[in-house]
């Protein structure tokens, strides 16, 4: 393992797009004898600080995995608790996000969420849609395979309509039809809590991303640890299959 101390953040080489798998809320709560939702609540507090620090550092796109297509398998109280937290987060943070010129976007089919959560999300999307600062992408009911399948279905429909032939299909056409259409791939994907998996997050977009794993549980993921992860990324040599 690389030493934790040896990283110095270079503020001139901040990645444009950082993606984060926010993992470990449940274990954080368990360690304290608290219900899992207390972990998600603490995770929400951590997220606020990471969004702020992303903006200060000059990250252009921050994408966080808040709820996966697989997370519906969790107990119903936990699922509805996460959606309630989302409303709390949006109500508390929207004015400040907007004042900081942050643009909120949602990756995933959020139409399955409870009405009140959808309303809170749509208010945020509408209010911030013309902002030009940090783009804050929240992956909700998101799955990488599901996202690729949506793109494939759309392209197949365009082929069936006669607008395109199979031979004309390109990688760019797939990229354009993902939630990330028009934005650069993440240079770095960070996952907290010591788990070493991608878990169906940004499968297409992370083809050449660097992965940074930290043992820190998401609620304890501080802006300082975030900077350390970015500095660790900066220490990597990216070759994109070349030499
Ligand atoms: C992973 O921890 C976390 C989640 C699945 C939910 C993420 C939610 C938040 C960060 C807070 C809510 C904020 C918003 C914007 C919705 P886990 O429960 O998988 O932890 P474990 O692996 O330790 O059980």
Helix or strand run (H / E) with residue 6: none
Closest among 19, 61, 27, 62 to 43, alpha carbons compared: 27
Cβ-contact 196, 213 below 8 angstroms: yes
Tell me which residue has its CA closest to atom 16 in ligand 1.
86
Number of Cβ atoms within 10 Å of the Cβ of 22? 23
| Segment 26-79, tens digit of pLDDT | 999 999 999 999 999 999 999 999 999 999 999 999 999 999 999 999 999 999
**Catalytic site residues?**
23, 71
pLDDT band at 5 (very low <50, low <70, confident <90, very high): low
Q: Which two tokens stand for residue 167?
A: 């031979």
| Cα 20-186-5 angle, rounded to 5 deg | 60
| Segment 190-218, tens digit of pLDDT | 999 999 999 999 999 999 999 999 999 99
| Segment 104-154, tens digit of pLDDT | 999 999 999 999 999 999 999 999 999 999 999 999 999 999 999 999 999
Burial of 239 (0-12, 13-18, 19+ CB in 10 A): exposed
For residue 97, the model assigns a pLDDT of: 98
157: Cα within 13 Å, side-chain hemisphere: 7
Right CATH for 12-146+185-234 from 3.40.190.80, 3.20.20.30, 3.40.50.300, 3.40.1180.10: 3.40.1180.10
| Cα 199-42-1 angle, rounded to 5 deg | 50
β-partners of residue 212 are 190
Indicate which atom in ligand 1 lies nearest the CA of residue 140. Answer: 16
Question: Is pLDDT at 3 greater than 70 in this prediction?
Answer: no
Percent helix, strand, coil in the chain, to 5, is 45, 15, 40
Report the SS3 class of residue 40: helix
Tell me which residue has its CA closest to atom 4 in ligand 1.
66
Cβ-contact 136, 102 below 8 angstroms: yes
Question: Is pLDDT at 2 greater than 90 in this prediction?
Answer: no
* Span from the CA of 44 to the centroid of ligand 1 (angstroms): 8
* Span from the CA of 23 to the centroid of ligand 1 (angstroms): 6
Q: How many residues does the chain have?
A: 243
Residue extents of the structural domains in the chain: 12-146+185-234
State how far the Cα of 78 lies from the Cα of 99, in Å rounded to an integer: 31
Closest among 14, 16, 220, 9 to 137, alpha carbons compared: 16
pTM over 0.75: yes
């Amino acid at each position: 393992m690389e030493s934790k101390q040896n990283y110095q953040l270079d503020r001139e080489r901040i990645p444009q797009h950082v993606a984060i798998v926010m993992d470990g809320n449940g274990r954080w709560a368990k360690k304290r004898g608290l219900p899992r939702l207390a972990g998600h609540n603490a995770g929400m507090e951590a997220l606020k600080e990471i969004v702020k620090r992303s903006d200060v550092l000059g990250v252009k796109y921050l994408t966080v995995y808040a709820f996966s297509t697989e997370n519906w398998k969790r107990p119903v109280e936990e699922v509805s608790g996460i959606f309630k937290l989302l409303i709390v987060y949006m109500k508390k943070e929207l004015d400040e996000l907007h004042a900081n010129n942050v643009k909120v976007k949602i990756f995933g089919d959020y139409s399955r969420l409870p009405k009140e959560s959808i309303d809170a999300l749509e208010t945020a999307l509408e209010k911030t849609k013309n902002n030009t600062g940090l783009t804050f992408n929240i992956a909700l009911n998101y799955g990488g395979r599901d996202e690729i399948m949506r793109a494939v279905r759309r392209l197949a429909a365009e082929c069936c309509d006669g607008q395109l032939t199979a031979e004309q299909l390109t990688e760019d056409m797939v990229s354009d039809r993902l939630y990330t259409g028009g934005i650069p791939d993440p240079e770095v994907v960070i996952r907290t809590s010591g788990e070493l998996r991608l878990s169906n997050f940004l499968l297409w977009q992370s083809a050449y991303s660097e992965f940074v794993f930290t043992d820190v549980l998401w609620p304890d993921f501080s802006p300082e640890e975030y900077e350390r992860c970015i500095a660790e990324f900066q220490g990597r040599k990216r070759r994109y299959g070349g030499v």
